[in-house]
Structure 1
Amino acid sequence: MTGLLDVPLTPAHLRGAVEVERTPRGGLLPHRLPAWARTRLPDPQLLMVEAQPSGVRLALRTAATVLELETRATKRVYVGMPPRPDGVYEVVVGGEVVASGSVGGGDVLTVDLGAGTMTPSDGGTGVVRFAGLPGGPGGTGGVRDLEVWLPHDEQTELVALRADAPVEAAPPDGRRRWLHHGSSISHGSNAATPTGTWPAVAAALADVDLLNLGFGGSALLDPSTARTMRDLPADVISVKLGINLVNLDLMRLRALGPAVHGFLDVLRDGHPTTPLLVVSSIYCGIHEETPGPSVPDAEAAREGRLRFVAAGDPAEVAQGRLTLEVVREQLAAVVAQRSVDDPHLAYLDGTVLYGVADAERLPLPDGLHPDAATHRLIGERFAAAAFGVGGPLA
């Protein structure tokens, strides 16, 4: 728009990304796994979700009251399901959300859950505009630090930034770095906004700098994820494990304990004394006593709704099939064994964050993922349990 300044975007403007790719089209694409890890994990689901910028935000220092951000979004369309809402961008000043908006259009990824396919198609760019942003305190010329949080569940290539005043990258704010890894719930599935995912809620309450490696459908004890976390700076670390191991029917009991030990061993190679919290799954009724895999509910699909059911046989738990109850028991045992020699390691039962009583009051809409209100509840409880006085990450 006439009168706005072009701001050359660089990786220095971004927080919450592990790596930033300069695309062939000249934009910036935030990644939450480095390129070497992506080559070792060529799963289409993981490659899709690691490029969705959950927890990634532009960190800017400026007096601007008008910002225009041009992006190329990748929207997901599920065959037979209603259209998904556009991803949300939020401007945060002084810890408060002061503006929000969305970008229409963009590329489209058509997902057929029944066939297990993902089909991309190209689209154009779009612009989200924020006007009337609050200025800085008196005596500073209106300059203040602000963040623009990117959509947590929509791949976002940054094309251009324009403003009505000069913009520079905000300097580090000195907060402790919280490195977190988890499943789609940690990624933010069914949260309404990027600051409304439970890790973002917890980070705001605890006043820590979030680096969110929550990957939808992909908290699978992958060695490359552990190596990535090993090599990243962190003041506190948490890993939330369980649901994807069960709902993908990934492994059997014999493999689980050694795989968890191996994941934690790699983390400790790079962070030998960093406070490390192992968190099990929140309550999920379909998989508490029934193994995976999770499959779409055919009856709900006929009604245009997405809901999941457990397709495993509870009788096969005796032969080593995993349920959430089994995984929680194993995680607690691994942490109990290791904590004898590792005083900085702790365990948190995920049902403390969301349990049976909560499920009766705030049921998971699709059988797997919490809604926006439940994300906030989980974030508040995690902040108190993990970062509160006497907590393992305090």
Structure 2
Amino acid sequence: MDDSYAPATRSPGWITTPLTGGLVRGALDLERTARGGLLPHRLPAQARARARSGGDEEVAQAESQPSGVRLVFRTRATAVELDVRRTVLEYRGVPPRPDGAYDLYVDGEPAGRSTASGGDRLILDLGDGSRETVPGPVGTVRFAGLAGREKTVEVWLPYTETTELLRLRTDAPVTAVAPDGRRVWLHHGSSISQGAAADSAATAWPALAAASGGVELVNLGLGGSAVLDPFTARALRDTPADLVSVKIGINIVNRDLMRLRAFGPAVHGFLDTVREGHPTTPLLVVSPVHCPMQEEVPGPAAPEIGDGKVEFQALGDPAEVALGKLNLRVVREELARIVAERAAEDPELFYLDGRELYGEADAAGLPLPDGLHPGPAAHRRMGERFGAFAFEPGGPFADRA
């Protein structure tokens, strides 16, 4: 344990609770670190190894950012402190993003928001692809003024920062909370599903939809990495769930990874693998939301730095769509066709056009701030619409008990 981990002196009334898996929800794996902390992962170790073998750091970066991961416990504490070592992503030449938000919920209701200081800085250069890590100290997230009654406390971790959990302190004892029997919704998608441009992980559209449906969320939204990777399909296959959804398309287009000939079989293979572990589970395929720059223009898309901010633009040639390159229109047509074809033998397979969550009319009033990711108000709208479509009576995720 390094010196920078040494906590400040506390009064004798503080209780330190060991951080164990019983306190953590929403992670598929917990890595015990050299400092004795816990590093939540949203992909299992084998999937992480497969991702690393290709030399692409984006999967590792995204899956270690704990979107949907939260600490859950019962306590009478009026104050809660969590020591963390975060890794903050920055882009060279762009002002740092706001600190990631830790949202506090008490008995299911919002009760506060905090941030952590310190941590390591991972600085990426969008020009040459280089990266530099600048070490930093441990930070502390604090919540105070809580009611002294027995209550269930949830601390949602930020979706933007890799977060090593080091120490939990309270001024009253803490006990783990057993799962309450709610159905588990397992969702996979791109950076929008991970939470990009939302205020926090708890206010990203999947979290809001899960709250409206009264289900337990496991969020496998992976920024830049929803590309039909077989290791991701196997992670979905092997994760217990009552409901499964996969949001497919935008990363495949904006990374220019496939032509039409490869896309269809890859979708089939991905769904086949998921079905190996969830043969009769309601499975919802969601196509991309409206994204003006890539509706007709194929990938790749690239970030550009201007006026101290990052904006995206599509670089492909629309004429190449006739040769099999993918734009969002083609992706939606193909996904709708595949689901309709498979649904003839799979009555628990469903399709949702992503434009029902965020469409052309929404883009007029709530434009994408960087050309690619919806802002906080759009996340709220998407969460409400998904909840109404999926969880209300007659929806694919409606409670049939």
Q: Does TM, scored on the shorter chain, surpass 0.5? A: yes
Q: CA deviation at 1:134?
A: 2.6
1:325 aligned onto 2:329 = yes
Query: In the aligned structure 2, how far is the partner of 1:187 from the partner of 1:302?
Result: 25
Q: Determine which of 285, 296, 303 is the counterpart of 2:303.
A: 296
**Equivalent in the alignment of 2:89:** 76
1:386 aligned onto 2:393 = no
Q: Determine which of 43, 48, 51 is the counterpart of 2:61.
A: 48
> Secondary structure of the residue that 1:119 maps to in structure 2?
strand
Conservation of the 8 A alpha-carbon contact between 1:46 and 1:218: yes
Deviations 1:49-79 (A, max 9, x none): 1000000000101111111100001111111
Q: Determine which of 152, 160, 179 is the counterpart of 1:172.
A: 179
Matched to 1:79, the amino acid is: R
**Equivalent in the alignment of 2:24:** 14
1:33 aligned onto 2:43 = yes
Matched to 2:295, the amino acid is: E
Aligned length: 385
Q: CA deviation at 1:389?
A: 1.4
Matched to 1:97, the amino acid is: P
Matched to 1:233, the amino acid is: P
Matched to 1:321, the amino acid is: K
**Equivalent in the alignment of 2:3:** none
**Equivalent in the alignment of 2:107:** 94
Query: In the aligned structure 2, how far is the partner of 1:121 from the partner of 1:80?
Result: 16
Conservation of the 8 A alpha-carbon contact between 2:87 and 2:161: yes
**Equivalent in the alignment of 1:361:** 365
Q: CA deviation at 1:388?
A: 1.4
Query: In the aligned structure 2, how far is the partner of 1:259 from the partner of 1:194?
Result: 29
Q: CA deviation at 1:387?
A: 1.2
> Secondary structure of the residue that 2:62 maps to in structure 1?
helix
List runs of 5+ in structure 2 lacking aligned partners.
Answer: 1-9
Deviations 1:27-55 (A, max 9, x none): 10000001111010112001001000000
Q: Percent identity?
A: 59
Moved more, 123-132 or 13-22: 123-132
Moved more, 94-103 or 346-355: 94-103
Conservation of the 8 A alpha-carbon contact between 1:31 and 1:50: yes
Conservation of the 8 A alpha-carbon contact between 2:76 and 2:147: no
**Equivalent in the alignment of 1:155:** 162
Matched to 1:320, the amino acid is: G
Please identify runs of 4+ aligned residues in structure 1 that moved more than 4 A.
none
Query: In the aligned structure 2, how far is the partner of 1:288 from the partner of 1:117?
Result: 31
Q: CA RMSD in A?
A: 0.8
1:308 aligned onto 2:298 = no
Query: In the aligned structure 1, how far is the partner of 2:309 from the partner of 2:19?
Result: 40
Query: In the aligned structure 1, how far is the partner of 2:216 from the partner of 2:21?
Result: 17
Query: In the aligned structure 2, how far is the partner of 1:204 from the partner of 1:106?
Result: 31
TM-score (normalizing by structure 1): 0.96
Within 5 Å, give how 1:196-207 maps onto structure 2. Answer: 196-207=203-214
Q: CA deviation at 1:302?
A: 3.4
> Secondary structure of the residue that 1:307 maps to in structure 2?
strand
Query: In the aligned structure 1, how far is the partner of 2:131 from the partner of 2:396?
Result: 40
TM-score (normalizing by structure 2): 0.95
Q: Determine which of 331, 340, 346 is the counterpart of 1:342.
A: 346
Query: In the aligned structure 1, how far is the partner of 2:58 from the partner of 2:128?
Result: 14
Deviations 1:91-148 (A, max 9, x none): 111221101100011011001122123322221101111111134xxxxxx2221111
1:376 aligned onto 2:383 = no
Q: CA deviation at 1:7?
A: 0.8
Deviations 1:220-278 (A, max 9, x none): 00000000110110000000011000000001000011000000000111100000000
Conservation of the 8 A alpha-carbon contact between 1:185 and 1:216: yes
> Secondary structure of the residue that 1:77 maps to in structure 2?
strand
1:189 aligned onto 2:199 = no
> Secondary structure of the residue that 2:371 maps to in structure 1?
coil
Q: Determine which of 277, 285, 291 is the counterpart of 1:278.
A: 285
Deviations 1:308-343 (A, max 9, x none): 000000000000000000000000010000000000
Matched to 1:319, the amino acid is: L
Query: In the aligned structure 2, how far is the partner of 1:240 from the partner of 1:111?
Result: 27
Query: In the aligned structure 1, how far is the partner of 2:235 from the partner of 2:84?
Result: 27
Moved more, 339-348 or 1-10: 1-10
Conservation of the 8 A alpha-carbon contact between 2:85 and 2:120: yes
Conservation of the 8 A alpha-carbon contact between 1:17 and 1:53: yes
Matched to 1:53, the amino acid is: P
Query: In the aligned structure 2, how far is the partner of 1:283 from the partner of 1:219?
Result: 17
Query: In the aligned structure 2, how far is the partner of 1:114 from the partner of 1:258?
Result: 34
